[in-house]
Structure 1
Amino acid sequence: MKPTHKLLFILCPMLVLVFIYYSSEKLQLYVWGQKPLYDKQGFLLQLETKLPLELTYKYGNLSKGACKPGYAAAKMATIYPKFIKSAPMFLDRNFKRLAKISYYLPPFGIRTQERIIDSILTATKNYGLGEQLDSLSCKRCIIVGNGGILFNKSLGTRIDDYDVVIRLNEAPVKGYSRDVGTKTTLRITYPEGAIQNPENYEKDSLFVFSGFKPLDFKWFRQIVFKENVRGLDGFWKSVAHRVPREPTELRILNPFFIQEAAFQFIGLPFNNGLMGKGNIPTLGTVAITMALHNCDEVAVAGFGYDMSAPHAPLHYYENIKMSAIRESWTHDISKEKEFLRKLVRANVITDLTKGI
């Protein structure tokens, strides 16, 4: 047999085995007939609530109640090995170097919006949580959802105890502080979700813009530069005309978190990277995704849609019923809940209202 034939004779079976191995991994199958370890999204099928030995050693000696540095990311990586913590919370002047968002249109990226984003960031100048919070060696964050489950839970004091309190859209604090607290570090919203009455904004909080369509970025630029809001055709409801914040108190949420939550974590339809039916995660899940990358401990309150109770209140502050969420065109509530339950079962996040 010629040397070249011998080489091919050896290489061909090896290449076939390599192909089978990687194909089986992708399909969550195992060559030797073993049961799959991971689901199709890449999460462990058998979620372990106990800490691995290396994390037990790392956190075991901390005093009770002490903040655990890197805990959320470490726990996330144990159930989702592909998790990489490094992802900035907000866009800064280096945003064009973020490859994972450069190729996608809003809401999953920044393509076509680079010039307007650059203009906005020139005015806002600040790109973090603020000197005091950015300097913390360990940050405990809570995302306060808008769910009716928050009503009459008296969690206000416990919520205010967190270093970073994240609120969503127009959910009010005034009049509900016993249940939702008084502290707001940042409020994440999009144009249609923003508080419309300037008097209802809390003091000393950051306004964090999340853009879902090109028109949203145009709106935000007008807000940043305190211009008269124009060109309102294309919004599905009325939008705020003024946000009582200086440019230095405004931020742009990194759209990578929308992308990662939708396609990597939940498994929503990719739709060629475009917004489509049932492929947009709720802002609450986007905020949780952001916190996993930027907070050391992550808790939530006010999360969980109970579809078996259609007449239950959807939000803690209004009379809309749970049945309204069934008509959502953009969200896939069942898939999203499945993802959040993984995080709770594995103790990656703590659910104070136990609605997930």
Structure 2
Amino acid sequence: MTWMMPCERLLTMKPTQKLVFILCTLLVLGFLHYASWKIHLLVWSQKALHNIQATKEPLRKTLPPEDGNPSKKDCKKGYAAERMTNIYPKFVKKVPMFLDQNFRLLPKVKDYLPPFGLKTQEKHIEEILNTTKNYRLGKDLDSLSCKRCVIVGNGGILSEKNLGSHIDMYDIVVRLNGAPVHGYHKNVGTKTTMRITYPEGAFQNLNLYDKTSLFVLSAFKPEDIKWLKHMAFKERLRSTKGFWKSVANRVPQEPSKMRILNPYFIQEAAFQFMLLPKNNGEMGNGNTPTLGAIAITMALHNCDEVAVAGFSYDLNKPSALLHYWEKTKMSAIKESQTHNITKEKEFLKKLVKAKVITDLTSGI
């Protein structure tokens, strides 16, 4: 059989054969065109799906954060300190939160008695620190490059604010004295990073302690340091002389969870921020800040963003609740021989106005 080109073979075919050949050729070409279209459609669909999946996650990440949600927005590193230097140019951020074994080298506090310094208490402090063996917040919090802190005050203004879940979103939640948490979660949250107190303000009911949080002493008098020593060594108090009311005989926290607040914050808040009288370095004549103002001062040195909640002493509302957990009214406040509430309110208002701190309950 002689080999011929397709065109030559087509010329020799009979009419019926030509028709069959043409129809078969058209069917083959149609099938190939249809198949190529389907393959193209499949490839295009896969590429489109891939592009959607590739852009889906970045789009989610760029969605605007929920307003006021501290866990959803970028932490502004150094924000509070930067704002603070605008109104107090001599403000220096780096001041240790708690006393450590180098406490004797701390400037400005060694020459003052408590609450403004450490004079006469060095030996007791050293013994306490040797027992606690820890002087910082803890590994997880210390490793944060930017810290958001909230100081939860005890004011009745917290009642029915439903701020609990918001408060719990901060990296560090600071509570004061014996302000309870259990039963008030909706308004004050559940999280406690540290509780700053003094002997007369500490829980006497051992069931109220959160054993995972830090127990931080703010010493207002020499007896307070000695009291903490008894608590750290699990020793029963032999005397309560020097305290203005009954104090706890035991603190269920382990020594590793105990800290001593740097008294520099008390001195700075009193003499530099509020311009209270030095009174020869002794407590009295309204020259000592409240624990709330002290805690805020501490946070300004150690946190990048600082918020407060539950701060309000509005004497023009005598029927308002004084504390969120009890029925005592604002009218129960008397002129204090220890604190200057007027000067303190001016200081806190200055911080809010300058946007150094955020007042979550709008009570300052």
The TM-score range, normalised by the shorter chain, is 0.7 to 0.9
In structure 1, the partner of 2:217 is: 209
SS in structure 1 of the partner of residue 253 of structure 2? coil
State how 1:55-94 maps to structure 2 within 5 Å.
65-94=73-102
How far apart are residue 134 of structure 1 and its match? 0.2
Q: Tell me, in whole angstroms, the C-alpha distance in 2 between the residues paired with 1:137 and 1:324.
A: 43
Q: Tell me, in whole angstroms, the C-alpha distance in 1 between the residues paired with 2:335 and 2:227.
A: 26
Query: What's the Cα RMSD here?
Result: 1.1
Deviations 1:137-195 (A, max 9, x none): 00000000000000000000000000000000000000000000000000000000001
SS in structure 1 of the partner of residue 174 of structure 2? strand
Q: Tell me, in whole angstroms, the C-alpha distance in 2 between the residues paired with 1:142 and 1:149.
A: 16
**Residues 1:257 and 2:265 aligned together:** yes
Amino acid at match of 1:258: I
SS in structure 2 of the partner of residue 172 of structure 1? coil
Partner residue of 1:326 out of 328, 334, 347: 334
State how 1:123-162 maps to structure 2 within 5 Å.
123-162=131-170
Partner residue of 2:248 out of 240, 243, 246: 240
How far apart are residue 99 of structure 1 and its match? 1.7
Partner residue of 1:277 out of 274, 279, 285: 285
Q: Tell me, in whole angstroms, the C-alpha distance in 1 between the residues paired with 2:300 and 2:321.
A: 28
In structure 2, the partner of 1:305 is: 313
Amino acid at match of 1:211: A
Paired-residue identity, %: 68
Unmatched segments (≥5 aa) in structure 1: 1-62
* Closer/same/farther in 2, CA of residues 241 and 339 from structure 1, 3 Å limit: same
Partner residue of 1:179 out of 181, 187, 199: 187
How far apart are residue 74 of structure 1 and its match? 0.8
What is the aligned residue count?
294
How far apart are residue 286 of structure 1 and its match? 0.1
Q: Tell me, in whole angstroms, the C-alpha distance in 1 between the residues paired with 2:250 and 2:335.
A: 30
How far apart are residue 319 of structure 1 and its match? 1.9
Partner residue of 1:165 out of 150, 170, 173: 173
In structure 1, the partner of 2:42 is: none
SS in structure 2 of the partner of residue 303 of structure 1? coil
In structure 1, the partner of 2:345 is: 337
How far apart are residue 90 of structure 1 and its match? 0.1
Q: Tell me, in whole angstroms, the C-alpha distance in 2 between the residues paired with 1:263 and 1:153.
A: 34
How far apart are residue 326 of structure 1 and its match? 2.4
Amino acid at match of 1:175: G
Please report the TM-score for the alignment, with normalisation by the length of structure 1: 0.81
How far apart are residue 311 of structure 1 and its match? 2.2
How far apart are residue 64 of structure 1 and its match? 7.5
SS in structure 1 of the partner of residue 334 of structure 2? helix
SS in structure 1 of the partner of residue 175 of structure 2? strand
Q: Tell me, in whole angstroms, the C-alpha distance in 2 between the residues paired with 1:114 and 1:202.
A: 29
Report the more deviating stretch, 251-260 or 328-337.
Answer: 328-337
